[in-house]
Structure 1
């Protein structure tokens, strides 16, 4: 079987799909991974053929507007105004993304397309090629349930009707943002330009199989989900065995007690230097050593101290088992990695699904109460770090979850689900 795995976004949107691609490849299938050009070397380094998708849409994150959108705000008018401003830039790039994805799909001639929702052309490419498609999600965002509201909506305790309505609205917003681009592409390809563009259905209205790369131990599977919505467990890409740490990092870790890891991934707010000052002061106030990963520039340390090691990036599965706690943004992949390592967290959510994950790991007893980025202070961060280090309950609950997650074998479950779906369709 030849499988096209198509994904787009930050490292957290790519790494799990590379893990799935490797799992499919190990099971004897031919795989190509299509994603942003900035991850070309990452895909190829893991032995997978690469399919080109333009990097320009992601590059907006590096602009002043993109950084501003990562600054959380309680003013809904400001949020709406910023989104409209970004939409004017994003539209043409979304059209490019649809066309890039089709070039890859047509060339790959797959038997099956597994797609991230940001590669929203996936089911339409599948229709044109006459093959099935599977929606793959790193977060439980679209499939409606009465159990809880969709991410980004407040839990107002209004019951199942409200909760389900939030998923419908989430999908409608997605549909609104992509409908025109999909219609234009379908017309160009001689396909019927449907008025609807549901991410959960084929262009002809049949439900799509949905794989969630999420652990049921972290987010229980809702009892009212349809059978085609599956929760496989996390898709981890293990890199510890092949990654060689810099000698300086190894010396630092060996020279004292386990440090606190600090990393905000691809989150890059407007003031990385200010974030760096807060982090340095907090580590000093908490009386702990630190390993700070600068990532895509979310943190800039102007005056590192001897008790803090600064590194560009480091595989989570290598560093997290070697630290006492982790301070991070609450991205789905980082949450999964910290829990698997059995490490307690302090979550500083920026936007999107991150507040949900911060609240969730706190509710599970594996993290301090989340600190929204705009309310972050050195004193508050230091207090949260000391809380998770001084209360052994945080470590115990993180370790208990880690044991359960390590037994799940999410990639294997996903590969089996894909193979079963292909035989059924």
Structure 2
């Protein structure tokens, strides 16, 4: 991921389309060039693609430096463009482009909205939140990043507010410098956030209501629309060695930790293989940043492959509880064993367990071959988890996250 000065009287909200600061030319209809690197999450329904599959543009060769992405709405509606705003330094690099060729819309992620709001004020460009985590305070659950159990409705909401105040402090220096660069009067991050909340600034949350139903105490303008799936080639095929392994025996279990646990590959590989054999299961180790690797007739090591092609053919998935992997397993109707490491991963792991689609999470620091084997036996041999995952998959089919995002963008851009 995917958050969402004291507001001065008479200062318009970020999405109003009227801003202070320097004069800018009217928006053009040609697409804004893609700037920087966009990671693999994105919208895609054939008409709208933010990110797509992860690609480099204009010489940005390193991952993680998200700056801007084009949103093209084709067909008879004409073309509109949007920008996904990234980290502070790259936001500064982006300013000349935004001023010279303003986009029709800014798409702001959870972590970048506290910066993007100031761009909308300065340029008059409307904006839309596109979040992958539920960050607005609610009585339904505590702040996502805490990984804690429910503290009760009042305490959950209070700690949610506290978490946002702490996050705002992180942006204080960057916001002060950005507003100076934009020739805007001083305003604090917390004040700007309140301004957005009072204006019911729209935020789309790209996850399924199967995992997180929309809290009833959320303000107007906060919507849960469904997962935004990475685009993959419908004609794509799995590597030959992987296809051969899948066909050679019972459905295997995939074990992978994505970008987590770098440098811990040897220990994790040993735990994985011992657990698989203790549970009597075939396994696939996905190398990832940890560098998992093992050889044997009952174990195969692979690199990156599309979840949509592999997951439906598995008995279960052992993963770190990332939002994307959690959703992909549900979409495939495959139960999970989660080993959350950090950030929002304990939250998603807990949600999977709460709906019965996963066993109770195993904290990463508590992972042993014995605990993993016991959870694997439970998730594969007992059908309750498989039935819960299949039920969730049926729910996900009814959601159209990309279509909902497209509709919102059309409304904001007059498309």
1:172 aligns with 2:193: no
Residue of structure 2 in register with 1:125 after alignment: 119
Change (3 A) 1:315 1:161: same
Structure (1 or 2) with the larger CA radius of gyration: 2
1:137 aligns with 2:158: no
Structure 1 position 323, deviation (Å): 0.6
SS at match of 1:148: coil
Of 145, 151, 163, which residue of structure 1 is paired with 2:144? 151
In structure 2, how many angstroms separate the alpha carbons of the residues matched to 1:403 and 1:129?
43
Residue of structure 2 in register with 1:211 after alignment: 204
Residue of structure 2 in register with 1:361 after alignment: 352
In structure 2, how many angstroms separate the alpha carbons of the residues matched to 1:7 and 1:386?
47
Structure 1 position 162, deviation (Å): 1.5
Residue of structure 2 in register with 1:300 after alignment: 292
The structure richer in helix per residue is 1
Of 270, 277, 293, which residue of structure 2 is paired with 1:284? 277
Structure 1 position 326, deviation (Å): 0.4
SS at match of 2:144: coil
In structure 2, how many angstroms separate the alpha carbons of the residues matched to 1:373 and 1:144?
27
Of 370, 391, 410, which residue of structure 2 is paired with 1:379? 370
TM-score of the two chains, using structure 1 as the length reference? 0.78
Residue of structure 1 in register with 2:221 after alignment: 228
Structure 1 position 109, deviation (Å): 2.0
**96-105 vs 249-258, which moves further:** 96-105
Change (3 A) 1:311 1:156: closer
Change (3 A) 1:7 1:216: farther
Residue of structure 2 in register with 1:115 after alignment: 108
Structure 1 position 306, deviation (Å): 2.1
Residue of structure 2 in register with 1:410 after alignment: 401
Structure 1 position 117, deviation (Å): 2.6
SS at match of 1:149: coil
Residue of structure 1 in register with 2:300 after alignment: 309
Instruction: Count matched residues.
Output: 367
Structure 1 position 241, deviation (Å): 1.6
Change (3 A) 1:198 1:265: farther
Residue of structure 1 in register with 2:80 after alignment: none
Residue of structure 1 in register with 2:40 after alignment: 15
Change (3 A) 1:157 1:110: closer
TM-score of the two chains, using structure 2 as the length reference? 0.79
What's the C-alpha RMSD, in Å, of the aligned pairs?
Answer: 3.2
**Structure 2 residues not aligned, in runs of 5+:** 1-28, 67-85
**Structure 1 residues not aligned, in runs of 5+:** 34-38, 45-49, 60-92
